[in-house]
Amino acid sequence: MIEKVEGIIISEVAYGDTSKIINIFTKEHGIIGVIAKGAKSMKSRLRAVTTKFTYAYFHVYYKKDKLSLLKEVDIINSLSNIKKDLKLIGYMSYVTELSTQVFKQNSEDNIFALYIEIVKKLNEGLEPIVLSNILEIKYLDYLGISLNLNSCINCGNKKDIVTVDPDQGGYVCKNCYRGERIVPLTIIKLLRMYYLVDIKTITSLNIKVENIEQVNYFLTKYYERYTGLYLKSKDFLEQIV
């Protein structure tokens, strides 16, 4: 039976002389492998719609835990702004690799939803570092390493927060402060805002460059220390940005 699934192609490999196998991160079934017959041939109508980062409805003969077969593709969003900008392709690669890695650790439906929302905003031209950081901070819950952004990590005090410590994973209050690096209050507030924001509602991001960098520094450190994820696309990103 043909099934319609929503997804983004995350990779493609040649299959024989004229076909390819595409891997699609889908809303319905997670990551699936699909054979696109004849898709490498110039005449094929599947040729243009089976390239990496195609965001579409895919009509497939779905086979669980096996390769499915592609019949038809309806583009949802061509993501044309991302595809013409090397820097944005770098970010697209990063958020895609990050999302699929997180999904492999915790197959929650919401991971796909967050990923798609971020991709749309990337394509709309919003600041890619901030978007990546929003995704990173929201994924911490799915990685089982949430930051505590409600109260002091040591005593639960909600007042007199002086810093947020990547090593302890949350806020530190005045009474528990033991000389940790001081993260300014603006950055603390930004981290909390990134964590809580509904991505769909973001229309602009007016954040000072130095604050963007401080949040990014914090999250990069936190990821290195706690996630154990190694993402090739992050290295690539650091080279091109």
Taking CB under 5 A as the criterion, the residue among 49, 56, 70, 152 binding Zn ion is 152
- Residue 16 or 156 having the CB closest to Zn ion: 156
- Residue 33 or 169 having the CB closest to Zn ion: 169
What is the smallest separation between the CB atom of 195 and Zn ion, expressed in angstroms?
20
Residue 134 to residue 228: CA distance in whole angstroms:
19
- Residue 127 or 165 having the CB closest to Zn ion: 165
What is the smallest separation between the CB atom of 185 and Zn ion, expressed in angstroms?
16
Residue 151 to residue 166: CA distance in whole angstroms:
15
**Would you count residue 185 as binding Zn ion (CB under 5 A)?**
no
What is the smallest separation between the CB atom of 150 and Zn ion, expressed in angstroms?
12
**Do residues 236 and 96 lie in contact, with contact meaning Cβ atoms separated by under 8 Å?**
no
Q: Coil, strand or helix: which one is 128?
A: helix
**Do residues 229 and 98 lie in contact, with contact meaning Cβ atoms separated by under 8 Å?**
yes
Which amino acid is present at 210?
A: E
Q: Select from 5-13, 29-37, 156-164, 191-199 the region that touches Zn ion (CB under 5 A).
A: 156-164
Name every residue whose Cβ is closer than 8 Å to that of residue 93 and which is 6 or more positions away in sequence. 233, 236, 237
> What angle separates helix 128-139 from helix 109-123, to the nearest 10 degrees?
170
Strand blocks (E) in 78-204: 148-152, 161-165, 170-173
- Residue 14 or 155 having the CB closest to Zn ion: 155
For Zn ion, the binding residues in 162-181 under the rule CB under 5 A are 173, 175-176
**Would you count residue 160 as binding Zn ion (CB under 5 A)?**
no
- Residue 141 or 180 having the CB closest to Zn ion: 180
What is the smallest separation between the CB atom of 175 and Zn ion, expressed in angstroms?
5
Taking CB under 5 A as the criterion, the residue among 155, 182, 196, 241 binding Zn ion is 155
Name every residue whose Cβ is closer than 8 Å to that of residue 8 and which is 6 or more positions away in sequence. 24, 25, 53, 54, 55, 96, 115, 116, 119
What is the smallest separation between the CB atom of 155 and Zn ion, expressed in angstroms?
3
**Would you count residue 157 as binding Zn ion (CB under 5 A)?**
yes
- Residue 34 or 152 having the CB closest to Zn ion: 152
Give the binding site for Zn ion (CB under 5 A).
152, 154-155, 157, 173, 175-176
